[in-house]
């Protein structure tokens, strides 16, 4: 079976080559799939993409014309794919619902503690040989209530960690899970907004929750809330969040994702080249921690992603199906 990987495979060629089976012929391309690069598909029936590749109806039709039969994304979320349009072309679509939930949960705990203890300011002070206490007094997690929006696999792992540290853990999800009730209390969004000192987004992006953290919802948050978004950039109106930071409604922000990040991730900018004033203002602030979509990025996560992609290619080759169809 011939397959081609856009963007993802080139970075992890060593892992693919180590784990792939003899029957798989996999080609690696170092760029995203779009209308300008679709012609790079040759005779491959399986195409692998990341969230940076936006698949609309036009591209779905182009994939069909190229003879593609399977489209796989290396992510759990799939809002970057018009799944209906792809399936209408007779193409199977698959994701990776769980490559390492603990990787993102551990990231949340790490950056949460860093924010509460003002580590960005402390590290900057030390680099500048300013060994002062001014401006670095922190807060203790045991005195705070945390709210997790999204109670799936990752949300569950985060709630398990937070239960050991925080005063109270709330979770909001339209589909309650029995095991979640052992580590968190289900609550409505408004209750979380009102009572939680920390709010963590662990939900996928859809039309119903686009910019769920916006000017109006920020007004309803508890004063001094810490916001953490390792999920999808579109969940937050970052302009409104910036204003919330400036007026003190929000005490800190951790974000690993940003709306329009495909124009940023994987690139290096010289002074003055990056033209997004909101993003630049955010990352310069000492009450903000930004990472470039690396919350998932561990040895285990990459290994499991590669294994899942290869498993789907073999399954399709032998049985005409994939493990996690959408």
Give the residue numbers marked as catalytic. Answer: 232, 261, 293
Residue by residue, DSSP assigns 185-247 as EE--HHHHHHH-SEEEE-----TTTTT-BSHHHHHTSPTTEEEEE-S-GGGB-HHHHHHHHHT
- Provide the sign of the torsion angle of the four alpha carbons 268, 270, 272, 278, taken in this order: positive
Token representation of residue 133: 């206490």
Q: Is 188 buried (19+), middle (13-18) or exposed (0-12) by CB count in 10 A?
A: exposed
Rounded Cα distance, 96 and 103, in Å: 14
Helices (H), 251-298: 277-284
Pairing of strands 2-6, 46-49: parallel
Supply the Cα-derived Rg of the chain in whole angstroms: 21
Residue by residue, DSSP assigns 37-93 as TGGG--S-SEEEE-TTS-B-HHHHHHHHHTT--EEEESSS--TTB-HHHHHHTT-EE
């Amino acid at each position: 079976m011939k397959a081609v990987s856009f963007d993802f495979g080139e970075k992890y060629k060593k892992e693919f080559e180590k784990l792939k089976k003899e029957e798989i012929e996999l080609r690696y391309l170092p760029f995203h799939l779009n209308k300008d690069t679709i012609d790079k598909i040759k005779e491959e029936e399986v195409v692998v993409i990341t969230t940076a590749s936006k698949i609309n109806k036009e591209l779905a039709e182009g994939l069909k014309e190229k003879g593609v039969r399977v489209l796989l994304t290396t992510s759990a979320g799939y809002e970057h794919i018009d799944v209906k349009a792809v399936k209408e072309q007779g193409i199977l679509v698959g994701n990776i619902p769980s490559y390492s939930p603990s990787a993102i949960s551990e990231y949340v705990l790490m950056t949460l503690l860093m924010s509460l203890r003002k580590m960005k300011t402390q590290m900057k002070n030390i680099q500048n040989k300013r060994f002062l206490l001014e401006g670095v007094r922190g807060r203790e997690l045991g005195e705070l209530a945390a709210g997790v929006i999204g109670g799936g696999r990752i949300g569950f792992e985060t709630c398990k960690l937070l239960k050991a540290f925080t005063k109270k853990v709330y979770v909001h999800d339209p589909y309650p899970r029995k095991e979640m009730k052992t580590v968190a209390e289900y609550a409505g969004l408004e209750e979380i907004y009102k009572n939680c000192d920390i709010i963590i987004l662990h939900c996928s992006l859809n039309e119903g929750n686009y910019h769920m953290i916006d000017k109006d919802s920020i007004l309803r948050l508890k004063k001094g809330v810490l916001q953490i978004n390792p999920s999808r950039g579109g969940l937050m109106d970052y302009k409104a969040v910036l204003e919330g930071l400036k007026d003190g409604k929000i005490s800190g922000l951790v974000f690993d994702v940003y709306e329009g990040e495909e124009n940023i991730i994987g690139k290096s900018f010289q002074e003055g080249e990056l033209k997004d004033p909101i993003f630049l203002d955010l990352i310069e602030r000492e009450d903000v921690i930004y990472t470039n979509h690396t919350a998932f990025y561990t040895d285990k996560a990459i290994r499991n992603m590669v294994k899942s992609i290869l498993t789907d290619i073999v399954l399709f080759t032998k049985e005409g199906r994939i493990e996690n169809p959408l």
